Amino acid sequence: MKKAILAVSFGTSHPDTLEKTIAAIEGALALAFPDRTLRRAFTSGMIRMKLKQRSGVNVDSVDSALDRLAREGFGDVVVQPTHIINGDEFDKLRALAAPFAGKFSRLALGAPLLTEADDYRAVAEALDEILPAPRQDAAVVLMGHGTGHHANAAYGLLQYVLYDRGRRDAVIGTVEGYPGLEEVLRRLEERKVRRVHLVPLMIVAGDHAKNDMAGEDPDSWRSRLEQLGYTVTWSLRGLGEYEAIQNIFVRHALAAEA
């Protein structure tokens, strides 16, 4: 039976981070599933349109990718999202995949990065390698996306796990949800630090990381912190660049296949 693995990402229109993050996760999946044909889909229609208009690159939607696999005679498909939380994008993916269940002998769906308690421990362990060593006079601020979806609670749980593992210098905030920058600023004040290192808690380092986090615009987190007198440094590496994170997605895909 022809088998495939479909890697589903929100997508990014920044080619540099696309290669280093989404393509790197896909590479890890391809390596772990040598018997499966790897395919890519992006859930963001806006990003697919941008890529097409700018560089003529066609990326499948979930629909078109699954439709094509069915028409090409694939019988066993594992769908692995590269999402961080079980939020809107994952709900959307599940709803889009459901009608295709009858078109394959098996259609399995892997879990996002932060799903079970073990995932939080694994991500915290990965962050131990990713983040600079803790310093008394510095804090690391992780910028997640955030959402109004109930899965937003994942950020609070990850914060707890980091704290419990001794990373008291790590503060999580989100661009579009709670906690936001105001809450982060209060934690920084409590810690009485003067140095802040910003890190994207996102798979790709696209618009949010480059502009909302580290941009020169007066509203960016970097600018707001600098205005308050903090010495700010930052990383523009999406989590998808790191092998330890890629491996968690691989484990989720293996669990879906089992």
- Active-site residue set: 145
Separation of alpha carbons 42 and 59, rounded Å = 7
Nearest Cα residue to 43 out of 27, 14, 63: 63
Q: Distance (Å, rounded) from C-alpha 172 to C-alpha 195? A: 16
In the three-class reduction of DSSP (H, G, I as helix; E, B as strand; rest coil), residue 79 is classed as: strand
The full length of the chain comes to 258
Return the residue matching tokens 């109004």: 148
Rounded to the nearest 10°, the torsion over CA 140, 146, 150, 154 is -20
Contact 84, 146 (CB under 8 A): no
Instruction: Give, for 53, the enclosing helix (H) or strand (E).
Output: helix 45-55
